[in-house]
Chains A and B, each alone.
Chain A
């Protein structure tokens, strides 16, 4: 893989997470701490700007989720990414002109609700099997569409939950 591909893959894999981090976590020191360790939640609650706010929990959950997601993403893919600094690539079996690294970058965002979490996590992971399928043509495209659909569904659920919470409170 060349340096061009390396940066392409790095941005694809970590760009969105970093955007969320810099956009909504980094400005709040408490969330940064939470992102790194969710166990500090109760302590942080005491020193929060609005200690009693029921929205804190959602915000904290969001930060903690991103933290896990990012951590998982880094642990899972940084080794491959480092390996990929060499000149070679693994080709994607189902889309024979795309490198597998590039495809893998799409697979990692998910949050909320145990069942949904489990389903989406497994779903997203299993969808990536399409990448290496030698029989399904354009498997990598189906995988991306599937994962983006999961992402949108998850986002809708989050917003629905937030709205529900908001309505309950008001």
Chain B
């Protein structure tokens, strides 16, 4: 009877066990979610160059109890508080992230990691709390070691207040918090809730909220060593060049006018790199120039000079994009040893495209570059633009400089010049100081041939914006910025047009030319749209018209302007620039008698473009717009598709590879209670052993007679 009962219960238990097993397996993720709160991660990562590395890394998984420090006093208090425990994650506002403050935090010997709040809703992190004096985290002369004046004894320092934070080495994780989207806002909110709770408990009353970071970087030593081990990838991406002259050739001996800007930027936290001041405004200007010039009633491809637009990627990394472009066009013709199995370009030496051989560097007759132009560097609404020229071969650029200043003074009909503001375009050396060119892509061209007339247009005369390569370059005065960009685009488009027509004096123009130049108007609405699209909203109607981005289940909004690593990341801005320029420089209405074929993207089964046509924004068009590989010219790819250092004196920036990185938040108990838990477990086991031993003896004795 007993056995039957037991057997029934055995079967019942077995069913229960199977059910329990299924439940347990299903709930494993729930348990993880109950314990851990994964926080959106915006990491600082490790980058390597020819001589070493910069950025952040931690050997193991660093974890520390959240600690809040809002001021320098708080940081000092943290360092001096002897009553604190072992490891802490300190939450500080971004502007307190400086070498000296990091040293104070490290001196406490209990710093596990830093969370830097770039933007937050807490009053201590709000825009209003930002200090008036902003300090650029770049060096005092960004990229100058790769610039035109690298060998000049006393180079002018364009960024004198630069702290060089981007070039520091941190052996602990640093992550950012930024309320820039829903996910990151939630992360910020949960971290703040946790850190405030810890603070209310005096950081002593356990359980406390702790944060763990995974930030192990594989790349070590320098680029040479890590490339050999395969632990890093070149920093870079795709540059874009485009010309309305679809028939341009190396031997046509027609001069070339280059209009250029940079497309990428850098900052400590690559996911936050925006670079509106550093690159976006310049890129918008070039795109607006292309649009304005496309309206010319005299077709651009019939002019006496070619116009070539170039937008370079990798400029933040030692002018990698422009230097590679110049290096490639000056090594024409390319000896392709191994043609690609499919498509264009060359398999070895690797080139994704070879059309650049149609550009003859000897024909370049003028370079018009747009540098920092967003007016964010405390320009205070002053709409003045400064035209910089090289001071070594200054005479080569004098005529071009004068032309730009004159066109600026004449103003444009869309921007009535403010009589109080003086001339909207000034020669940067008008104060009598010859500083030369600020760090710019033009330097790459001038390094190969110094006598090309070159003008770089910026919003500063003596000093770069303090927001240069800063993570907090996320607020600007839109009307002011749009006005500056429009002004710059207007001056550059007219100068380029006059240059291309070969007209040095606007008074000597024919009636047709006068009419044509009047048709070149920069569209302020387009400038504003481009600025908005390329900074905060990649899914805007303008981009969507070209790339149908809203068809994605998660339409992108703010995208990082860090170039990324070569051939491994999508290049949203080069892709858009390519599409936009292809559209603007394509054979347009004036020369093409028939309307364009549309529907190649919306109805691909019915409408197919011709063999030499591209489908851009649902239209088939012919255009000479190409991508160009952009990565450090010190690097090269061997026949096994591996990168190596070819010339360590040139830029060789690489980014370390890493294990999946992230951070999670959880409760921790005090060390004391952990030991108590272990002791209880051990005691229970020992007591049980004793009871078992005693029971056995007792039973043996009692049941002995059996």
Contacts and interface: CB of A to CB of B under 8 A. Distances in A.
Contacts of B14: 68
Contact of A88 (B2, B27, B668, B673): B668
Contacts of A96: 207
A163 B702 CA distance: 9
Contact of A105 (B20, B681, B695): B681
Contacts of B34: 90
Contact of A19 (B16, B669, B689): B689
Contacts of B676: 8
A89 B669 contact: yes
Interface size class of B (residues with CB under 8 A): 35 or more
A126 interface: no
A55 B706 contact: yes
B677 A99 contact: yes
Given A80-B31, A88-B668, A170 B678 contact: no
A114 B8 CA distance: 9
Contacts of B699: 162
Contacts of A53: 706
A97 B207 contact: yes
Interface in A5-49: 5, 7-12, 15-16, 18-20, 22-24, 38, 41
Interface string B2-20: 1101111110011011001
Contacts of A51: none
B9 A117 contact: yes
B62 to A, nearest CB: 11
A20 B692 CA distance: 6
Nearest to B22: A75
B476 interface: no
Say what secondary structure dominates the interface of chain B. helix
Given A97-B206, A117-B9, A7 B678 contact: yes
Given A89-B207, A89-B668, A11 B703 contact: no
Interface in B1-57: 2-3, 5-10, 13-14, 16-17, 20-21, 24-25, 27-28, 31-32, 34-36
A169 B669 contact: no
A89 B667 contact: yes
Interface in A91-115: 91, 96-99, 102, 105, 114
A31 to B, nearest CB: 12
A2 interface: yes
A95 to B, nearest CB: 11
Interface string B97-128: 00000000000000000000000000000000
A90 B667 contact: yes
A68 B13 contact: yes
Interface size class of A (residues with CB under 8 A): 35 or more
B678 A5 contact: yes
Contact of A166 (B16, B210, B212, B703): B703
A166 B699 CA distance: 11
Interface string B271-313: 0000000000000000000000000000000000000000000
B702 A9 contact: no
Contacts of A22: 689
B16 A72 contact: yes
Given A4-B675, A23-B692, A79 B703 contact: no
Contacts of A5: 669, 674, 677-678
Nearest to B27: A79
Contacts of A41: 3
Nearest to A166: B703
Contact of A11 (B3, B6, B21, B684): B684
A41 B6 CA distance: 12
B35 A38 contact: no
B121 to A, nearest CB: 26
A11 B686 CA distance: 10
6 contacts: A10-B681, A72-B13, A86-B35, A90-B35, A91-B207, A162-B699
Interface of B: 2-3, 5-10, 13-14, 16-17, 20-21, 24-25, 27-28, 31-32, 34-36, 61, 63, 206-207, 210, 212, 664, 666-671, 673-682, 684-685, 688-689, 691-693, 695-696, 699, 702-703, 705-706
Q: Closest 4 interchain pairs by CB?
A: A88-B666, A11-B681, A15-B685, A8-B677
Interface of A: 2, 4-5, 7-12, 15-16, 18-20, 22-24, 38, 41, 50, 53, 55, 57, 61, 64, 68, 71-72, 75-76, 79-80, 83-84, 86-91, 96-99, 102, 105, 114, 117, 162-163, 166, 169-170
